[in-house]
Amino acid sequence: MSLLEVKELTKNFGGLAAVSNVDFVIEENELIGLIGPNGAGKTTFFNLLTGVYVPTEGTIELEKDGEKILLNGKAPYKITDLGLARTFQNIRLFKELTVMDNVLIAMHSKKGSNTFHSLFRTPTYYRAEEEMRTKALELLAIFELENKYDVLAKNLPYGEQRRLEIVRALATKPKILFLDEPAAGMNPQETAELTALIRKIQKDFKITVVLIEHDMSLVMNVCERIYVLEYGRLLAHGTPEEIQKNPAVIKAYLGGD
């Protein structure tokens, strides 16, 4: 049984079909790429899967505990609770908060809180808070951000803000992590480091990673399967080798005649 199965997904804005009749399957512990020209519908597709938009047609089904859960129409926070997390093309951090607080907010959203303990600041509350801070530091250490825990997010260099956004997403303990152009704005050294980091995330956290990316060296180096969108429609799907040799993909996106 697939972890996430998308069938005939469509999103219309007025008379424009931003995503049209797309089928997409995600298995456990995969690294999947989603590529295509600007305006192909990639971010809209992510927005549909994570509850930002409601599909016009089609279904999105998540396998959980042997049952299929329909995600259509569920609020983003409910989809996050079910194990789908994401980053954004334009970084969306709480920039006036510290690195630590950005991660703790994500952890609280997953854990929830007991009103009594929170209101009266009982020993149980303080123990839980300390445990979360310890786990947050451990997570930050994986991304070499533990020494920046008290820095305001807005004061981090661009590449570290990207890493913090990934940390915050992982703090929700997702089954699937969607990365929207994680290498955007990065220099070649930062992109190489990100490539290694994405592999490490998928391996160490044992989760599925789906990424939108224009850097083809990154996509071809880390992805096991690749989907290609053009004008909102699925143009091709296959291994990196198959995609690189696909005449339609070469013509539409990879620079062929």
Identify whether 119 is part of a domain: yes
> In one letter, which amino acid is 160?
E
* This prediction's pTM: 0.89
Residue 89, domain member (yes or no):
no
Tokens 């990879």 identify what position? 254
What CA–CA distance (Å, rounded) separates 111 from 108?
Answer: 5
- So what's the pLDDT on residue 118? 53
**Distance of alpha carbon 69 from alpha carbon 190, whole angstroms:** 38
Q: Is 90 part of any domain?
A: no
Residues 6+ apart with CB under 8 A from 116: 122
CB atoms within 10 A of CB 59: 14
CA 100, 195, 210, 35: dihedral to nearest 10 degrees? 130
| Domain membership flag for residue 238 | yes
What's the rounded Cα separation, in Å, for the pair 42 and 234?
10
- The tally of domains found in the chain comes to 2
Res 129: pLDDT:
80
Fill in the DSSP letter of residue 254: S
Q: What phi, psi does 124 have (nearest 5°)? A: -60, -40
Distance CA 246, CA 242 (A): 6
* Domain stop point among 119, 151, 172: 172
The predicted structure's pLDDT at residue 46: 96
In a domain, 88, yes or no: no
The reply to whether 253 and 218 lie within a common domain is yes
Let me know whether 101 and 208 are in one domain. no
Residues 129 and 159 in one domain: yes
Tell me the sheet residues that pair with 234: 229
Residue ending a domain, among 150, 172, 194, is 172
| pLDDT lower than 50: segments of the chain | 115-117, 257
* C-alpha–C-alpha distance, residues 59 and 22, integer Å: 10
Identify whether 147 is part of a domain. yes
Contact 185, 7 (CB under 8 A): no
Q: Given this model, what pLDDT does residue 185 score?
A: 84
**DSSP character for 206?**
T
What residues have CB less than 8 Å from 197, skipping those under 6 apart?
A: 143, 163, 166
129/157 same-domain check: yes
91 inside domain: no
Q: Does 179 share its domain with 249?
A: yes
Distance CA 85, CA 110 (A): 11
Which pLDDT does position 255 carry in this prediction? 65
Shared domain check, 102 and 123: yes
* Same-domain pairing of 68 and 111: no
Domain with 16 in it: what CATH number? 3.40.50.300
Report the distance separating Cα 51 and Cα 62, nearest Å.
Answer: 13
Q: Are residues 68 and 35 in the same domain?
A: yes
Q: Do 82 and 32 form a contact (C-beta atoms < 8 A)?
A: no
Do 252 and 188 sit in the same domain of this protein? yes
Encoded amino acid at 41, one letter: G
149 and 206 assigned to the same domain = no
Shared-domain flag, residues 155 and 195: no
Instruction: Look at residue 116 in the predicted model and tell me its pLDDT.
Output: 45
Provide the 3-class DSSP secondary structure of residue 139.
Answer: helix
Does residue 249 form part of some domain? Answer: yes
Identify the domain boundary among 128, 150, 172. Answer: 172
Q: List helix spans (H) across the chain.
A: 42-49, 76-81, 99-111, 115-120, 123-142, 158-170, 188-204, 216-222, 240-245, 247-252
- Look up the domain containing 230 and give its range: 1-83+174-257
**pLDDT (0 to 100) of residue 108:** 82
One domain, residues 78 and 205: yes
